[in-house]
Structures are given as structure tokens and as C-alpha cells.
């Protein structure tokens, strides 16, 4: 928990730097408060105690206290049952956490979980920082967790070390000899050998990190050491609480041992660390700020990967103690020797935190080409150009508009305009795909709009696309200025963001074009706004044009229109949209739209009959 609290504190720092006048509250367990105390980026600590955990009435009181705060944003970095309930009760407008299908309904922003790190700040830190992706940060993010000590606390620690008999002219190493659990604790007899190795290599003061109920284990490590090593160990120099222990670590020069809260405390104090990871822990998460000099870690898998081949996480965890027995100290000595050489050669730590920050912030969004096809769209074109201000290039393919569309586009020098005669929608879209420079395409219609939440979700996806080749957008259909919730619109989804190397529009579809995708697809959580309906006349005009194109499709298929097509299919469309898909709940607007949809179905067969008649005469 100490590591989690420290890592998550960088969210508070980044939020405070972005919103200096905002109130930043941090909800933590009571036991971890000493680690984060004095943090200047937190306004209030919301303390969750054992009383809240063990007593339902107290927990309910706690939830109502949260509710009274009326938070604007809640970020859940914990994502467990207690936090889910707290988030639900918070009433916040924005609720942000990691994407998990079976509980996404709790949150407004579900962030895809990162699987692999993109820098050496560590995967656990990158995961935490990803929770800020939807908040549209412009400034570089801070990546390093920090602990703040008072001058009095540091002075008390120095006096304690002097009273304990340490020679402060020598370097002091803190040994994390015991992990938080047995399956996170390197075998005690092996740990004794590691302590011996350090004592043989360097003339140092050695401190042991343990709590009172671990004293027998600590004594076991001590008794396993050589007598020459014992002379360098100051076994009883301990702080009387967590804050005093932190102050002692701040006087040490480096730390060696089990992955634990002690290691994370030392790192937050900019102390070099050498970590021995448990076999069941995936070190890519917690091997933070690894540079091979100031921070170095080892894992049994580094030396004997065959032990882990074709083994599940559950099997590895259940067999940790057996695997630990095969993690011989001899495996570790070479890496530890390199780490200690760097400690001998320099008494001053040069952590180069800015380098880690710069490396993390160099992560680039996947380059995206914005695409639009137009014809006489003077009403919408300027809005959509401004709306797509976040793409890397914007290309518009126009079908020789006769209104002010071209003049408006030419006002924007960054927009690439290409004109091409329109044959059908699929052909025009496939032509447009050949005009852009980047593989990832954001292809929108002029009457669509991407709000800030969806824009942030797109940008977050650009950072971590994974193995997906295309993304669908759910849409909100606007009838003039009012959204339609039903009438068949509730199931409306379209592909708008995709990799052109793996997708193409079906050339057989002249209208209501279909993107054929070769690869995995996903649906975005946030919806695309669709201002399709301007007026009855305009929408009817649009349906007439669609009907002519659809008639050409049907003509190629040699469809012969009959009574069924002219009367039954339009009637069925109206019944389906208005009654089955609940258009009746959209009121008068729902009735108008369902009626127009039925008209559009009938009109395609009217146009088909004309086409058949014309060609038969020819």
C-alpha cells in the first residue's frame, strides 16, 4: 500500500500544477498517512480507517461525508470494491478509472489499461499517469513520487544514528531484509549471504529494516551473517514510527533488498536501490526509474526463464517458495557488484530525474490524418474544421461544390483541399484514403461533432492503440437541436477511426457505405454527436439522393421491385422504428423521423423502377 500511495501521489501533483486554484483531496488508508504527510500538492487527506472497513454504519457515514463535498472529478486509482462504492456515492460529474468491462458503468471515463511500458519510469507510474489522459494536459507531466520531511525530522534522524554508534563519514546502506509477506521475502539464509557480499565489498554501516513482530526473522538474517559482517550491522537502530524510519532512510546512501514499501520510500527520497523481486511479481510494473546505475533490479526469470515457461500466474504464485529456493545468491552477485561499484565511485547521487521526465513526455501520439468529404456544406464546414484541431493533417475531398464551401475551406491554410467528381460514397471515401500521409484515419462527416470527452478518449487511444485496427463510434442523433434517444438511433454505430492499411470501404455499397476491417475492432465509450436533421425538406432531399444511389446497387443485383417492396417494406420500417425501437417515446420528432425513414425505403424502389424502365427502353 505504501508503494501505491506514493505512486498515486503524482496525480495530486500534476492536478495541482494544472489547476492551482482547485482543491485536491487524497483518499488513503490511515496507516499510509505518514508516507504522504507534508505533501504540498494535497489540500486535504480523506482518511479511510479500519473502523470504516469493519463497520457498515461507519462506512455509510463516511460515504455521506464524501457526498457532501460535491466533487467535480473523482479519479479512482485503486479500483477495488471500497473505491467503487465511494465513487458511486460521490456524485461527481467526472469519474475516471481503468477500463474493466464489468464495471465500466460506474465511470464516465474508462481508461484502457497499459500492458507494456513506453519508458523506464516504470509501468505502474505510466498506468497512474494514464488516468490524466482525458483531462487534456498541455504541460509535461511530473513523473517522480516525492516524500517531504521537515528539518526537525532530519535532525532527529542524524542524532539517532550518532547515538546508535554509526560512523557518519562512511556510507550507510539500508537492507530491506523482509518483504510484506512470506512469498515476497527472499529466503532469509540467502539474504544473509547478500549482506555478507556487501560487507565484504564495502566498508559501510548496515541497517536492517524490520518491524517489532518481525524481530525473529531479522535475528535469523543477522545470525546467518559472518562475524566480520556483524561488526558492520547496527541491528537496534530503528525509528519509533514510520515518519522516523523515513527520516533514517533519508540519511542512508542506498537501499538493497526485497521489493517493498521500504524500497519505494527510498526511491521517493532519491536513494539508489537494488531490488530482489519475488518470482510471482512482474517486475516491469515496479522496476521504476531503472538506469543500471542508481536503480537496478533482479528477478529469477532474468537468469532462468525456463522455470516460467508455459506457467500461469496462479501457478507461479502458488509455487513461489519453491522458485525462491532456486534463486541462489550466486545469480545476484554480478549485478549487485556492478551496483556497488557505482556506489563506491560516487558518494553523491545524481538521479537525473529530469531525464526520466523528458523520456516519458517524449511519448508521441500516433499520427492521425483527418478526412472529410463535402458537397455544398457551407453551413457546417467551418465548425468541423475547427473541431478537428487535434489531428496532424486535415484533408478535404470536395465534389465541386457550388456554394461557399470552397471559399470557407480556403481560409484555412493548414487544410489540404482536393476536388474529385462524385460517383458514390464508397468510391469517394476510398479515393480520399489515398490522399493522406498517415496510416491512422479519423474520417468524419461535416454534420458530426467530437466533444471534449470523445476527443480525449481518441487521444488516449492514440497513445495506447494496442492490436486494434479500427474503432467504432456510437452516435447521438440530433433532430434540429434536440437529441433523439430512440427511433432506431440508440443502436447507431459507425467506423470513424481506423488504420487504412487494414481497412477499405466495400465498393459494392454505393450509399450507407461499409468499412471492411481486417483485424480487431473496438467501440469507443463516448458518443459522436450527429446533427443530421436540419429540416423536413433537407432531410427528405438527402433521402432522395440516397435512394438514387441505393437503386443503382439494387439494379446491379437485378432486383425487380414489386408490391412487397413498395408497401410492406416501408410499413415494416415504420413499425420497427416507431414501435419496436420505441420511436413513440421521442414524441413528434420521433414520428417525423420514422415516417421519413419509411419514405426513404419506398423511394429507393421508386428510383429502381425508373432505372429499370429507362434501361428497358434503351
Separation of alpha carbons 407 and 253, rounded Å: 67
**Residue 123 lies inside a defined structural domain of this protein:** yes
pLDDT at site 434: 96
Are 280 and 158 members of one domain?
yes
Are 200 and 214 members of one domain?
yes
- Residue 509's domain is classified under what CATH number? 3.90.550.10
Are 500 and 452 members of one domain?
yes
pLDDT at site 346: 62
Are 569 and 521 members of one domain?
no
Are 397 and 423 members of one domain?
yes
**Residue 469 lies inside a defined structural domain of this protein:** yes
Cα dihedral value 412, 414, 420, 424, nearest 10: -90
Separation of alpha carbons 243 and 249, rounded Å: 10
Query: Does residue 30 contact residue 50 with C-beta atoms inside 8 Å?
Result: yes
pLDDT at site 347: 52
Which residue, of 511, 533, 555, is where some domain finishes?
A: 533
Of 327, 333, 355, nearest to 256 by C-alpha is 333
Q: What is the DSSP string of 450-483?
A: --HHHHHHHHHHHH--TTEEEEEEEEEEEETTEE
Could you tell me the pTM of the whole model?
A: 0.68
Are 348 and 229 members of one domain?
yes
- Three-state DSSP at 20 gives coil
**Residue 566 lies inside a defined structural domain of this protein:** yes
Are 165 and 289 members of one domain?
yes
Are 176 and 321 members of one domain?
yes
Q: Which residues contact 246 (CB under 8 A, 6 or more apart)?
A: 34, 35, 147, 149, 153, 239, 265, 269
**Residue 387 lies inside a defined structural domain of this protein:** yes
Cα→Cα distances 245→154, 160, 330, 349, Å: 10, 11, 31, 20
Q: Enter the C-alpha cell of residue 59.
A: 462506512
**Residue 80 lies inside a defined structural domain of this protein:** yes
Q: What is the DSSP string of 492-522?
A: -EEEEEEEGGGEEE-TT-SSS--EEESSEEE
pLDDT at site 138: 75
Containing domain of residue 116, as a range? 2-135
Are 207 and 93 members of one domain?
no
Query: Does residue 178 contact residue 278 with C-beta atoms inside 8 Å?
Result: no
Query: Does residue 131 contact residue 118 with C-beta atoms inside 8 Å?
Result: no
Would you give the end-to-end CA distance of the chain in angstroms? 81
Which residue, of 84, 103, 135, is where some domain finishes?
A: 135
Q: Which residues pair with 176 in a beta bridge?
A: 257
Query: Does residue 198 contact residue 256 with C-beta atoms inside 8 Å?
Result: yes
**Residue 145 lies inside a defined structural domain of this protein:** no
Are 323 and 232 members of one domain?
yes
Of 119, 146, 120, nearest to 266 by C-alpha is 146
Query: Does residue 173 contact residue 237 with C-beta atoms inside 8 Å?
Result: no
- Residue 282's domain is classified under what CATH number? 3.40.50.2000
**Residue 396 lies inside a defined structural domain of this protein:** yes
Which residue, of 483, 507, 533, is where some domain finishes?
A: 533
Query: Does residue 82 contact residue 60 with C-beta atoms inside 8 Å?
Result: no
State the DSSP code for 478.
Answer: E
pLDDT at site 114: 83
Strand 468-479 vs strand 482-484: parallel, antiparallel, or unpaired? antiparallel
What is the tally of structural domains in the chain? 4
Q: Which residues pair with 273 in a beta bridge?
A: 255, 295
**Residue 430 lies inside a defined structural domain of this protein:** yes
State the DSSP code for 557.
Answer: T
Cα dihedral value 172, 173, 178, 181, nearest 10: 110
pLDDT at site 618: 46
Of 291, 312, 237, nearest to 120 by C-alpha is 291
Are 283 and 396 members of one domain?
no
**Mean pLDDT for each consecutive 10-residue tract of the chain (618 residues)?**
93 96 95 93 94 92 94 93 90 91 87 83 92 85 94 96 95 95 96 98 96 94 97 93 96 95 94 96 91 92 93 95 96 95 70 76 83 94 95 96 96 96 93 96 95 85 84 90 81 92 91 89 91 79 79 84 90 90 87 89 88 74
- Report residue 370: phi and psi, to 5°: -85, 135
Are 458 and 553 members of one domain?
no
Amino acid at each position: 500500500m505504501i508503494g501505491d500511495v506514493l505512486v498515486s501521489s503524482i496525480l495530486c501533483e500534476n492536478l495541482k500544477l494544472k489547476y492551482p486554484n482547485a482543491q485536491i483531496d487524497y483518499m488513503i488508508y490511515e496507516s499510509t498517512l505518514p508516507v504522504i504527510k507534508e505533501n504540498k500538492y494535497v489540500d486535504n487527506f480523506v482518511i479511510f480507517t479500519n473502523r470504516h472497513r469493519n463497520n457498515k454504519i461507519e462506512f455509510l457515514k463516511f460515504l455521506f461525508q464524501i457526498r457532501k463535498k460535491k466533487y467535480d472529478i473523482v479519479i479512482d486509482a485503486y479500483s477495488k470494491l471500497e473505491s467503487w462504492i465511494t465513487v458511486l456515492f460521490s456524485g461527481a460529474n467526472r469519474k475516471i478509472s481503468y477500463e474493466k468491462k464489468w464495471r465500466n458503468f460506474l465511470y464516465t471515463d474508462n481508461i484502457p489499461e497499459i500492458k507494456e511500458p513506453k519508458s523506464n519510469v516504470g509501468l505502474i507510474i505510466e498506468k497512474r499517469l494514464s488516468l490524466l489522459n482525458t483531462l487534456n494536459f498541455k504541460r509535461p507531466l511530473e513523473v517522480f513520487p516525492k516524500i517531504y520531511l521537515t528539518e526537525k525530522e532530519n535532525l532527529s534522524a542524524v542524532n539517532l544514528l550518532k547515538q546508535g554508534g554509526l560512523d557518519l563519514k562512511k556510507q550507510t546502506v539500508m537492507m530491506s531484509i523482509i518483504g510484506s509477506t512470506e512469498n515476497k521475502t527472499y529466503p532469509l539464509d540467502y539474504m544473509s549471504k547478500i549482506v555478507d557480499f556487501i560487507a565484504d565489498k564495502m566498508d559501510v554501516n548496515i541497517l536492517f529494516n524490520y518491524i517489532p513482530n518481525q524481530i525473529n526473522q531479522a535475528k535469523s538474517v543477522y545470525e546467518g551473517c559472518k562475524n566480520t559482517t556483524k561488526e558492520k550491522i547496527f541491528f537496534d537502530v530503528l525509528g519509533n514510527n514510520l515518519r522516523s524510519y523515513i527520516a533514517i532512510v533519508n540519511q542512508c546512501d542506498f537501499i538493497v533488498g526485497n521489493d517493498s514499501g521500504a524500497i519505494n520510500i527510498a526511491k521517493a527520497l532519491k536513494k539508489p536501490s537494488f531490488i530482489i523481486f519475488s518470482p510471482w511479481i512482474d517486475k516491469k510494473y515496479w522496476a521504476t526509474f531503472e538506469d543500471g546505475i542508481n536503480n537496478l533490479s533482479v528477478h529469477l526469470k532474468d537468469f532462468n526463464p525456463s522455470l516460467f515457461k508455459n506457467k500461469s500466474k496462479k501457478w507461479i504464485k502458488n509455487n513461489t517458495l519453491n522458485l525462491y529456493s532456486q534463486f541462489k545468491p550466486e545469480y545476484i552477485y554480478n549485478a549487485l557488484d556492478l551496483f556497488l561499484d557505482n556506489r563506491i565511485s560516487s558518494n553523491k547521487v545524481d538521479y537525473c530525474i529530469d531525464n526520466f521526465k523528458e523520456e516519458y513526455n517524449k511519448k508521441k501520439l500516433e499520427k492521425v490524418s483527418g478526412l472529410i468529404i463535402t458537397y455544398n456544406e457551407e453551413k457546417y464546414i467551418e465548425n468541423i474544421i475547427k473541431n478537428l484541431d487535434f489531428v496532424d493533417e486535415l484533408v478535404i475531398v470536395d465534389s465541386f461544390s457550388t456554394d461557399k464551401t470552397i471559399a470557407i475551406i480556403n481560409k484555412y491554410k493548414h487544410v489540404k483541399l482536393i476536388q474529385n467528381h462524385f460517383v458514390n460514397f464508397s468510391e469517394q471515401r476510398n479515393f480520399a484514403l489515398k490522399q493522406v500521409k498517415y496510416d491512422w484515419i479519423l474520417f468524419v462527416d461535416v454534420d458530426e461533432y467530437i466533444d471534449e470527452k470523445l476527443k480525449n478518449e481518441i487521444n488516449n487511444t492514440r497513445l495506447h492503440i494496442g492490436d486494434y485496427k479500427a474503432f467504432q463510434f456510437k452516435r447521438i442523433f440530433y433532430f434540429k437541436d434536440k437529441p433523439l434517444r430512440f427511433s432506431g438511433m440508440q443502436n447507431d454505430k459507425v467506423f470513424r477511426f481506423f488504420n487504412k492499411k487494414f481497412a477499405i470501404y466495400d465498393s459494392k455499397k454505393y450509399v450507407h457505405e461499409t468499412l471492411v476491417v481486417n483485424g480487431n475492432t473496438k467501440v469507443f465509450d463516448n458518443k459522436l454527436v450527429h446533427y443530421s436533421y436540419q429540416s423536413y425538406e433537407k432531410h427528405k432531399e438527402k433521402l432522395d439522393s440516397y435512394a438514387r444511389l441505393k437503386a443503382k446497387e439494387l439494379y446491379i443485383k437485378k432486383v425487380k421491385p414489386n408490391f412487397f417492396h413498395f408497401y410492406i417494406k416501408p410499413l415494416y420500417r415504420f413499425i420497427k422504428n416507431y414501435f419496436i425501437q420505441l420511436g413513440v417515446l421521442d414524441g413528434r420528432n420521433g414520428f417525423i423521423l420514422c415516417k421519413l425513414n419509411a419514405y426513404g425505403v419506398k423511394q429507393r424502389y421508386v428510383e429502381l423502377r425508373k432505372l429499370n424502365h429507362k434501361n428497358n427502353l434503351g
